[in-house]
Amino acid sequence: MNQMSIHRDGSVEPPTPTPTPTPVLELDRASVVFPSGPPWRRRRVPAMREVTLQVSAGETLGVVGESGSGKTTTAMVALGLRRPTTGVVRFEGASMPRRRRALAGRMQVVLQHPQWSLDPRMRVGRSVAEPLVVAERLARRAANTTSGAINGSSSGSITDAVAVMLEKVGLDASVAKRHPHELSGGQRQRVAIARALITRPRFVVFDEAVSALDVSVQAQILNLVVDVQAEYGFGALFISHDLGAVRYVAHRIAVMRHGCVVETADTETFYRTPEHEYSRQLLEAL
Amino acid sequence: MKRLDWLSRCGLICLMVLVAAAVAGWFGLAGDPAAIDGDRLRPPGAAAWLGTDDLGRSLLPRLLEGIGATLLLSSLAVLVTAVVSTALGIVAGYVGGAVNEAVLRLVEVLYAFPSIVLAILVAAVVGPGRPAAMAAIVLVTIPLMTRLVRAAAATVASRDYITSAVVSGVGMPTMLVRHVLPNVGGTIAVQGTYALSIGILVEGGLSFLGLGVQPPQASLGVLIAQGGIYMVAAPWLVIAPGVVLVLAILSINVLGDGLRDRLEPREARSLT
Amino acid sequence: MNQLTPAEPVVVARDLVVDYLAAHGPVRALDGVDLAVDAGETVGVVGESGSGKSTLGAALGRLLPSRAERRHGSMHVAGHSVFDLAPQPLRQLRRDQLGFVFQDPIGALDPTMRVGAQVRRALRGRQPSPRRSTRDAVAALLDQVRLRDPARVARAYPHQLSGGMAQRVALAMAMAVQPRVLVADEPTAALDSQVRDEVLDTILALTRAAGTTVLWLSHDLNAVARRCARVVVMYGGRVVEDGPAHAVLARPAHPYTHALASSAPSHARPGERLTPIPGRPPLLAGPAPGCAFAERCRFVVDRCATERPPLARVNGQAVLCHRAEELRSTAALPLPARPTDIPAEIGGGR
C-alpha cells in the first residue's frame, strides 16, 4: 500500500497563504504501530505508515480518509499526544519537546463531539479562558525562574479576552455565563473554536470538527473556520471523512488509506480529477 | 432543574426522621437508655411506648441510641470509603495503564471475599468493637465504589474536553481536580448512598454476631441480637429495631435511585 | 413509483400533532403531518435535529416516550389506526408489521445475551420454514444481512461486535418477521463512514427483496436522494416538501429544501462561499401561526408569518409554501450545478 504516495507540494499554492520557509508542523516519515492482543500473542498493528506531511503558517492542510485510515492517529501524532514509533515530528522547525506543556498555548485542537467538547460542569467563560490561564501561568513560572520581569494579565483582562473571542466566533459575550447544556451543538462548536484560538496558536487541528453537526449548521462552522484562519493565519490540519467539507476549507488535501498518504494535491485537483483511483472514488461518492 | 421524584422524597423524609430521632435520643428526650424502669419484658404501653427489655430498660431510648450509633458509624465509614475510592478510582481511571491494572487487581482481591466473611476476618484481627465494625464497612464498600468511580473517570478521561485540555497544557493535578472530579461527582454521591445502606447492613450483621458494637452500648444490630433471644415471649424487642433497620436501608436505597436518576440520567437503571 | 400500486397506502398520517410535555410547558414536535406511503416504497425523510422526523418514526409504532402526547390527527399503519389500538393488537402490529433500526446499534441489543439468542427471540412466534431448526434460521438471517461469519457472530455478545456488525444484527432482527414497514432512524449516524454505504446497501437490498416499505430518517439530503425514490423534507414538525428524489434535489420547490441543499459543502464550487441557513430551527410551543421557516426564509412575505401555507403542487412535488408556484415560475431557487449531477433514473426508477 505504500508505493502510491504522490507528493506535489509547493507546485501551485492557493492565493492566500505565503508559505514560510519552515513549515509550522512537519511529519517526516512518521509511523505508528499499536501492539494488539494479549502479551503472549502480541501482534503489531500499523496505524500510520511513513506519513509525510507539512503544514505552513496560514495554510490549511485537509486530511481525508475512511475511519481506520490513520487520520485520527495522525492528528494525535501532530498534537504530540502520541510519539511516532519511527519518524520525526517537527513543530516550528524543532523536534517535538518531550513535555507537552512546553507547547502550551501554541497548539490547539477542536474535536468532534459537540456534546463533549466542553466540560459540562464548567461555565462557558471558564472553558474558553482555560488555555489562556494555563499558558500565562506557565509563562509566569518560566519567567520567575529566569528573571523577575513578568507582565501577567489580571482576571479582568482575561474576561475581556474571552468576550472578544466569543464575539469573534459569532456568539454574544453573555454566553460566557452559561453552561454548555444551554447551548446548541453549533454554538458549542463555536465556543470550542473560541477556546482553541484564545491563545493565538500557531497550529490548530480540527479533527472531524463538523461531522456531528446538522448539515445547515456545518456550513456555518465551515465558514467560521475559513474566516478565523484567514484572520489569524495559523497553520491548520483539517481532518474529516467528508471530502466535501475538507475540500471547502483546505488549501491542500492529503488522502489517507490504510495508514498511508496515497495522494497529496492542491484542493483544485479535488474539484476535477485527482490522480489516485481511491481519491476519485471519494470524489464520486460526493 | 429536575427535582427528586416522590418516592425518593419519601426516602429522604424517612431518613431525616430517623436522624432526628437519633438526635432526640442523644439529648435524652426519650429518657435514659441505661435506666432500669422495673418490670422486665413489659409489652408496649403508656409507660414504655415500645415495652421494656430483659433487664427492664425501656426500649424506646435504647432504640434511638441504636439508630444514632448505627447511622454515625456507617456514615463515618462511608466517608472514609468515599475519600479512598475517589482517590483510587479517579487516578486509575484517568491515568490508565499499569496504575489502572494495579488498582483493579487490588480491588478484585477484596471483591472476591464474601462481605460478611471479610467483616468477620476484620473483627478477628482488630478485635470486636466499633473500630472493627467501621473497618469492616470500609473494606466491604471500597471495591464496588472504586470500580464504579474508576469506570466513570475512565469515561470522562476519553471525552473531547479532556483531550483539548491536555493539548492546552493543563497539568495532571489540575485536570483531576477541575475536570475529572466534578464530572464523577454524581457517581460518587449515588454510590455513597448505596455504600451507606450496605454499611448499615454490615454493622447490623457484625453486631448481631457479637463482633461489632458491644453491649451495653446499643446499635440496631445489638438490639436485634438481644431481642432475638426473646422472640417468642417479647416479639416487640426484635420487631422494632428490625423495622427501623429495614426502613433505614429502604429509604437510603430509594434516595440513591432518585439521586442516580437526577445526577446520571444517561446510566441505565439496570446496572446495580 | 406510487402509481403502480393502486392498493391502500401502507402508512398514512393525517394532520398528526404530537406534543412533548416539558417542565416549562408543551413543546410541539409534530405540527400537523400529512403523509401517505405506498407499499414497497423507499422514502427518505430528511430533516435537521428537532424537525420532528424521529417523532414521526416513533409514532408509526406508537413508540413515543411517555411525556409525548398525540394532540390531534391519526396514524394508520397497514390499515390499523395506531393510536386507537388496544395494547394486544398494538403489540401484534409492532411485532408482525413493523421493524425498527435505530442510530445506536450496540445500545439496541441486550448486552447480557448472545446475539444468536436475541435473533432467535425476534423469530419467536414465527413459523420457521419447514424442517429447519431455529439455529439454521438464525444463521440464514445473519447471512442475509451479509455478516461474514454468521456462526461466530451468533455466539458473540453485542460488545464484541463492531458498530457495523451490530447494526447488521439489529437489521436482521428487524427483518426477521419480514415486516410491512421498516423505520430506519439515522441507521448509519453512529457508524464509520466506510461501513455506512455497505450497511445502507444491505438495508435497501433486503427490504427491496422482501417488498418492505422503508422510511429512512436522515439529516443528509444528498445521501437520501441518492438512494431513495422519494424524498420527504420535514421542518418545524411538518412535511414541507414531498416528491421524487431527483426532482427535489435538482429543483427544490421549498425555500428550506433549497437552503438545505445549497448549504452542503459538496455543492460548493471552488472559491465559492457556502450560504448557511441563518438563524435556528424554531422551538414551537403550539401550532405555528404561519410557516415555521418564515423567520429564516429569504423569500418571506407578510402572510408567511400569519397564515399557515396550504398544500401546493409544483410539478411532481407537494410543497407547503405560499410562494411555491411563483418561485418556481421565476426560477428563484437555482442550485449550483454539481460536478456529478444525479441522473434522473437513479432517483426515479426502480
All structural domains of chain B: 6-26+57-263 (1.10.3720.10)
CA distance B170 to chain A (A): 6
How many CB atoms are closer than 10 A to CB A6? 14
Q: Can you say how many angstroms the Cα of residue B68 is from the centroid of all Cα atoms in its chain?
A: 13
Contact: C275, A219; criterion CB under 8 Å: yes
Residue A88, strand partner residues: A28
Nearest by Cα to C123 from C138, C109, C144: C138
Cβ atoms of residues A205 and A78 within 8 Å? yes
Q: For the purposes of burial, counting CB atoms within 10 Å of the CB of C154, is it exposed (0-12), middle (13-18) or buried (19 or more)? A: buried
- Asked if the interface predicted TM-score (ipTM) of this complex is over 0.85, the answer is no
Residue from A183, A214, A242 to probe the interface with C (highest C Cβ count within 10 Å)? A214
The angle formed by the CA atoms of residues C196, C11 and C289, to the nearest 5 degrees, is 95
Residue B103, strand partner residues: none
The span from the first CA to the last CA of chain C, in angstroms, equals: 8
Contact: A215, C219; criterion CB under 8 Å: yes
How many CB atoms are closer than 10 A to CB C284? 21
Instruction: Scan residues 159-198 of B and list those with Cβ closer than 8 Å to A.
Output: 159-161, 163-171, 174, 178-179, 182-183, 185
Helix axes B220-228, B181-208, angle to 10 degrees: 30
CA distance B98 to chain A (A): 14
From CA B268, how far away is CA C34, in angstroms rounded?
35
Which residue in the set B161, B163, B169 is minimally distant from A135, CB to CB? B169
Return the pLDDT at C6: 52
Which residue in the set C220, C221, C265 is minimally distant from A248, CB to CB? C265
Contact: A119, B179; criterion CB under 8 Å: yes
From CA A88, how far away is CA A70, in angstroms rounded?
17
Which residue in the set B169, B170, B182 is minimally distant from A121, CB to CB? B182
Which residue in the set B160, B169, B185 is minimally distant from A103, CB to CB? B169
CA distance A247 to chain C (A): 8
- pLDDT above 50 for C3: no
In a structure prediction context, what are the per-residue pLDDT tens digits for chain A, which is 286 residues long? 333 334 444 334 444 555 456 889 999 999 998 877 677 777 788 889 999 999 999 999 999 987 778 888 999 999 998 889 999 999 988 888 877 778 888 999 999 888 888 999 899 999 999 999 998 888 888 877 655 444 555 667 889 999 999 999 999 988 999 988 888 888 999 999 999 999 999 999 999 888 888 877 888 899 999 999 999 999 999 999 888 899 999 999 999 988 899 999 998 888 888 888 888 888 877 7
Cβ atoms of residues C291 and C304 within 8 Å? yes
In what side-by-side order are the strands of the sheet with A25-36? Answer: A43-55, A25-36, A86-91, A94-95
**Residue listed under C-alpha cell 413509483:** C1
Helix axes B181-208, B115-126, angle to 10 degrees: 70
Q: Which three cell numbers stand for residue C297?
A: 426564509
All residues of chain B having their beta carbon less than 8 Å from the beta carbon of residue A131 are 168-169
Phi-psi region of A37 (alpha: psi -120 to 50; beta: other; left: phi over 0): left
Q: Please name the residues in contact with B32: beta carbons below 8 A apart, sequence gap of 6 or more.
A: B61
From CA A104, how far away is CA A44, in angstroms rounded?
32
Contact: C192, A66; criterion CB under 8 Å: yes
Q: Which three cell numbers stand for residue A237?
A: 490540519
All residues of chain A having their beta carbon less than 8 Å from the beta carbon of residue C265 are 218-219, 222, 242, 244-245, 247-248
Query: Would you call B270 an interface residue with chain A, using a CB distance cutoff of 8 Å?
Result: no
From CA A72, how far away is CA A54, in angstroms rounded?
16
All residues of chain C having their beta carbon less than 8 Å from the beta carbon of residue A216 are 48, 259-260, 263, 276-277
Return the pLDDT at A252: 94
Q: Please name the residues in contact with B125: beta carbons below 8 A apart, sequence gap of 6 or more.
A: none
Q: How many beta-carbon pairs below 8 A join chains A and C?
A: 75
Segments making up each domain of chain A, as ranges: 21-106+201-285
- In which element (H, E) is residue A128 found? helix A124-146
From CA A23, how far away is CA A31, in angstroms rounded?
19
Cβ atoms of residues A213 and A221 within 8 Å? yes
In a structure prediction context, what are the per-residue pLDDT tens digits for chain B, which is 272 residues long? 456 788 889 999 999 999 999 999 888 887 788 777 777 777 787 777 788 877 778 888 899 999 999 999 999 999 999 999 999 999 999 998 899 999 999 999 988 888 888 888 888 898 888 899 999 999 999 999 999 999 999 999 989 999 999 999 898 999 999 999 999 998 899 899 999 999 999 998 888 888 888 888 889 999 999 888 888 888 888 999 999 999 999 999 999 888 887 776 543 332 22
Sign of the C-alpha dihedral computed for residues C112, C114, C118 and C121 taken in this order:
negative
CA distance B156 to chain A (A): 9
From CA C100, how far away is CA C109, in angstroms rounded?
12
Instruction: Scan residues 277-296 of C and list those with Cβ closer than 8 Å to A.
Output: 277, 280
Residue A84: asked if its preceding bond is cis (omega within 30°), the reply is: no
Query: Would you call B97 an interface residue with chain A, using a CB distance cutoff of 8 Å?
Result: no
Query: Would you call C265 an interface residue with chain A, using a CB distance cutoff of 8 Å?
Result: yes
What is the per-residue DSSP string for C144-181? HTT-S-HHHHHHS-GGGS-HHHHHHHHHHHHHTT--SE
Instruction: Scan residues 77-116 of A and list those with Cβ closer than 8 Å to B.
Output: 79, 81, 100-101, 103-105, 107-113, 116
Query: Would you call A149 an interface residue with chain C, using a CB distance cutoff of 8 Å?
Result: no
Instruction: Scan residues 120-139 of A and list those with Cβ closer than 8 Å to B.
Output: 120-122, 127, 130-131, 134-135, 138
Considering just the CA atoms, what is the radius of gyration of chain C in Å? Answer: 21
Which residue in the set B159, B170, B185 is minimally distant from A116, CB to CB? B159
Helix (H, G, I), strand (E, B) or coil at C72: strand
Beta strand pairing call for A60-65 and A235-240: parallel
Q: Which three cell numbers stand for residue A67?
A: 475511519
From CA C98, how far away is CA C180, in angstroms rounded?
6
* HSE value, Cβ hemisphere, 13 Å, CA-based, for B212: 32
b/e code C290-318 from CB counts within 10 Å (16+ = b): bbbbbebbebbeeebeeebbeebebebbb
Instruction: Scan residues 152-171 of A and list those with Cβ closer than 8 Å to C.
Output: none
Q: What chain A residue is nearest to C280 in terms of C-alpha separation?
A: A217
Q: Which three cell numbers stand for residue C99?
A: 421493524
b/e code B247-268 from CB counts within 10 Å (16+ = b): bbbebbbbbbbbbbbbebeebe
Dihedral pair phi/psi, residue C203, rounded to 5°: -55, -50
All residues of chain A having their beta carbon less than 8 Å from the beta carbon of residue C263 are 215-216, 218-219
Q: Please name the residues in contact with B33: beta carbons below 8 A apart, sequence gap of 6 or more.
A: B25, B57, B58, B61, B62, B64, B65, B218
Q: How many residues does chain C have?
A: 350
Return the pLDDT at B47: 72
Cβ atoms of residues B192 and B106 within 8 Å? no
Residue A60, strand partner residues: A236
Which CATH number is A21-106+201-285 given? 3.40.50.300
Instruction: Give the model confidence (pLDDT) of C213-225 as tens digits.
Output: 999 999 888 888 8
Return the pLDDT at C350: 34
- pLDDT above 50 for C171: yes
Query: Would you call A15 an interface residue with chain C, using a CB distance cutoff of 8 Å?
Result: no
Q: Please name the residues in contact with A177: beta carbons below 8 A apart, sequence gap of 6 or more.
A: A123, A124, A125
Write the DSSP symbol of residue A148.
S
Write the DSSP symbol of residue B178.
I
Return the pLDDT at B141: 92
- pLDDT above 50 for C346: no
Query: Would you call A199 an interface residue with chain B, using a CB distance cutoff of 8 Å?
Result: yes
Q: Can you say how many angstroms the Cα of residue C225 is from the centroid of all Cα atoms in its chain?
A: 12
Residue from C196, C235, C266 to probe the interface with A (highest A Cβ count within 10 Å)? C266
Query: Would you call A217 an interface residue with chain B, using a CB distance cutoff of 8 Å?
Result: no
Nearest by Cα to C146 from C124, C169, C174: C169
From CA C142, how far away is CA C137, in angstroms rounded?
9
Residue from A25, A82, A121 to probe the interface with B (highest B Cβ count within 10 Å)? A121
Contact: A138, B169; criterion CB under 8 Å: yes
Q: What is the amino acid identity at position A25?
A: L
Query: Would you call C273 an interface residue with chain A, using a CB distance cutoff of 8 Å?
Result: yes
Helix axes B160-167, A185-197, angle to 10 degrees: 10
Return the pLDDT at A15: 47
Cβ atoms of residues C244 and C230 within 8 Å? yes
From CA A186, how far away is CA A35, in angstroms rounded?
37
Neighbors of chain C with 3 or more C-beta pairs under 8 Å: A
From CA C268, how far away is CA C275, in angstroms rounded?
9
Average pLDDT over residues C107-134: 76
From CA A234, how far away is CA A236, in angstroms rounded?
6
Query: Would you call C156 an interface residue with chain A, using a CB distance cutoff of 8 Å?
Result: no
